[in-house]
Structures are given as structure tokens and as C-alpha cells.
Amino acid sequence: MPPFCFNTPIMLKFWKKKPSESKPDDATEATGAAAQDHPPAALPDAFLDRLSDAAPAVAEPEPVSAEEAPTSEDEQARWNRPLGGSGFARGMASLFGRRPALDDELLDDIETTLISADVGVAATTQVVDDLRRRLGKGEFADAGALFRALRTDLAALLEPVAQPLDIDPAKKPFVILTVGVNGVGKTTTIGKLAKRFSMQGREVMLAAGDTFRAAAVEQLQTWGERNGVPVVSQKEGADSASVIFDALQSARSRRCDLLIADTAGRLHTQAGLMDELSKIRRVMAKLDAETPHEVLMVIDGTTGQNAVNQVRQFREAAGVTGLVVTKLDGSAKGGVVFALAREFGLPIRYVGLGEKADDLRAFVAERFVEAMLPESLAAG
């Protein structure tokens, strides 16, 4: 029996609406905590068929985001804590914290700090050249004024790419294909997204398209169970495109809001991986030419210039439409986000600021820049 899209609030509404149609045993499973204990796939086919009939009676998903709820200070703190320890933030704090003089040496130091924080030569040159020109024109009264200009220039690099992922409710399911090299955080990001979208009241299905690595399916299933989200899988070594095709068929027939597909990060050869991703896209397109609606490439923020090379490689072969930069909380220098923005102009959808389900933030340029270069540093 195929898995199906389901969440507890919808079930409760359905059972309230048509109690006479329910079998007593099923009704017990469908209420409160009991529903959590029984994975959706344990329910009978007859029930599943009625579920899709009941769907129109259910209210539209509410745009509740864990992110919008906290006060703005709370939300900024969720960025500051993980990013404050990055090479970028520490380098800038040590540079401006010692009240530097306003001179060419300060520009040289900024340049060195940016380059060593993975910002890359192109973005660094763009920013430093602008500051040098304005310094020459006498635009800055002191180092604090130059610091504010640096913040503005860096934010301007990010603003065009800080484009949230817009899930079009008319596409049922909206399909996200997740790609990226091994170990970058694809499966973890899918788990975080599953939680995020489920909490918004959307019905989510996952496809275990990484059929290469042992335990990959299990890892995704664990995230699925944790969030009450069904996972379509086949055995290890199955054809990835076929798993994702099955999942798409299933998500369409169940009228899911979202299908998120995992893929392998490594095959026997890199060319093999690119071929597999192209095949997945071709096979999906047979069912719905518009899918995937988003090809989300996940990048490990600790890998610096390597990350830039990876995007270059995947962009063409996989048709990447958006980026997620993970692990910015750990030993990341943090500057690679600027390098990616300058190099590709691809939308940065999310950043990973930890391993837990809630550690994914929709990318907001001002929050990122404030965490890296807090306004308070302008005072020296």
C-alpha cells in the first residue's frame, strides 16, 4: 500500500465531520497521541480513499512559521549565537573592536579579513574598491562610518539572492528535488523542511531517492517518523529515478502539498551522479513537465572555495534553482555565502545553523549581516 499524505489536524476534522463513516478501531487510531503512535501507512485503503474526498472540507494551510512568531530580538539572537563564532564575525570583531584609525591600512586589514573568511576574491575586491573610492573622496568621518558602509555593501551583495522559497499552492504537489555532494546535509535539511512545512499545515511526502548509500533510506525514514510524514522508498540499490517517480505518482494521487526528494551525494563516479540527476529530472517530467519546481542544492558552509566549485558543477547538470548553505554554526568561516551570492546570483533559500530540526532559517540578508558585523561594533 502506498504511503499517503496525512496530518493529525486534518484527520481530526475529517473524523468530526463524518463520524458515522468511521470504524471504531480506526477512529481510536486517528485521535490525538494515538495517531502519532500509528504511522499513517497502517490505515486501511478504504479510509485513504475517503480522505481525498474529505480534503476540500479542510481549511487552507495556515502560514504559521516558527520563524515569524518570536519577537525580532529573539529571532536575531537565533542567528547571532551560531554565527557569532564564525571566522568572519571573529575577524571583524577583532579588527573593529580595537578602534582602528581611518586609513589605507584599515582597508588592507578588511581585505585580508574578508579573504580569509572565504568571501572570495571577486566579492572582496568589489567591496574594498568601493570603500577605497569613498575614502578617497573623504566620505567617512571615522572608522565607524566606514564600518557602516562595509555593512551596507555586504548586505547589498546578499539582498538580491535572499529570495524565500515560494511554495505555489496551485501545484499539488509542489516538488523539491534536493541535490549536493555527499555529507553536506541534504537529508538533514529535508528533515528540517518536513518539520517546517508540516507545522505550517501542509501535507508533505518524502522520497528516499538516495538508493546508493547504505542507511540513507533509514535516515530519511527516521526524519519522516519524527514529523509524522510518509516516506516513499524501495530497497537499497533500487533505481533512484524509479523511487522518485513512484513517489510523485503517489503524492499526486493523494493530493499532497509537497513532495521532497532526497538524492545520493556520491555514486561510483561523479559523471554517474550527474547522469542519475538528469535521469531523475527526465523521468519526473514524463509525469508532469513542470516538475521539479525547485532544485535545491545543499552546500556545506565549512568547505569554502570548494563550495563554489560544487555549485558550478551542479548548476548545469542538475538545473539548480536555489541554494541552502548548512553548517554555518560550526567551524565555518561564514564568508562563502557572500562568495556564492556574487558568483552565481542563485537564490539562497535557507541556512542551516545547527543539526536540530529547528535550526533551519529562511535566509534573510539583514539578519545574516547583523550577526556577522553587529551594528554595535561601529562604536569601536
Ligand X SMILES: Nc1nc2c(ncn2[C@@H]2O[C@H](COP(=O)(O)OP(=O)(O)OP(=O)(O)O)[C@@H](O)[C@H]2O)c(=O)[nH]1
Q: Which of 354, 364, 369, 373 touches ligand X by CB under 6 A?
A: 354
Convert residues 177-216 into a mask of x (bound to Mg ion by CB under 5 A) and - (unbound). Answer: ---------xx-----------------------------
- Using alpha carbons, list the distances in angstroms from residue 263 to 80, 178, 298: 31, 6, 11
Site string for Mg ion, 320-359 (x = CB under 5 A): ----------------------------------------
User: From CA 48, how far away is CA 10, in angstroms rounded?
Assistant: 13
Closer to ligand X at the Cβ: 112 or 222?
222
Please choose, from the candidates 318, 306, 237, the residue with its C-alpha nearest in 3D space to the C-alpha of residue 282. 318
263, 223, 224: which is closest to 240 by C-alpha? Answer: 263
Largest CA distance in the chain: 80
C-alpha cell at 318: 542538475
**Of 321 and 326, which CB lies nearer to ligand X in the complex structure?**
326
Count of residues interacting with ligand X (CB under 6 A): 22
How would you classify the pairing of strands 360-362 and 348-352?
antiparallel
Nearest CA to 154 out of 220, 227, 89 is that of: 89
Using CB under 6 A as the binding rule, whether residue 334 contacts ligand X is answered as: no
**Residue 217 binding ligand X, by CB under 6 A:** no
Q: Which of 229, 252, 262, 52 is nearest to 172 (CA)?
A: 252
Cα gap 156→143, rounded to integer Å: 20
Q: Which is nearer to ligand X, 167 or 267 (CB)?
A: 267
Question: Is residue 327 part of the contact set for ligand X (CB under 6 A)?
Answer: yes
**Scanning residues 179 to 198, which ones bind ligand X (CB under 6 A)?**
180, 182-188
Please choose, from the candidates 194, 187, 260, the residue with its C-alpha nearest in 3D space to the C-alpha of residue 227.
Answer: 194
Taking CB under 6 A as the binding criterion, the range among 102-110, 277-285, 311-319, 327-335 that sits at the site for ligand X is 327-335
Q: 3-state DSSP helix/strand/coil percent for the chain, to nearest 5?
A: 55, 10, 35
Whichever of 128 and 260 has its CB closer to ligand X, that residue is 260
Let me know how many helices (H) and strands (E) the chain has, helices first.
Answer: 16, 8
Q: How far is the CB of 296 from ligand X (least distance, A)?
A: 12
In the bound state with ligand X, the residue whose beta carbon lies nearer, of 185 and 292, is: 185
Give yes or no for a contact between 83 and 325, defined as CB atoms under 8 angstroms apart. Answer: no
What's the alpha-carbon Rg for the chain, to the nearest Å? 23
Least separation, in Å, of the C-beta of 356 and ligand X?
9
We find the least distance from the C-beta atom of residue 78 to ligand X, in angstroms, to be 13
Q: Residue 182: which of ligand X, Mg ion, none does it interact with, CB under 5 to 8 A by kind?
A: ligand X
Site string for Mg ion, 28-47 (x = CB under 5 A): --------------------
Nearest approach, Cβ of 277 to ligand X (angstroms)? 13
* Sheet architecture: strand order including 322-326: 231-232, 204-207, 258-261, 174-179, 294-300, 322-326, 348-352, 360-362
Nearer to Mg ion, 22 or 234 (CB): 234
For Mg ion, the nearest residue by Cβ is 187
Q: Report the partner that residue 241 touches, choosing among Mg ion, ligand X, none (CB closer than 5 to 8 A by kind).
A: none
Binding site partner of 329, from ligand X, Mg ion, none, Cβ cut-off 5-8 A by kind: ligand X
Q: Which of 210, 257, 276, 370 binds ligand X (CB under 6 A)?
A: 210
Residues that bind ligand X (CB under 6 A): 180, 182-188, 210, 213, 216, 265, 298, 326-327, 329-330, 352-355, 359
**Site residues, Mg ion (CB under 5 A):** 186-187
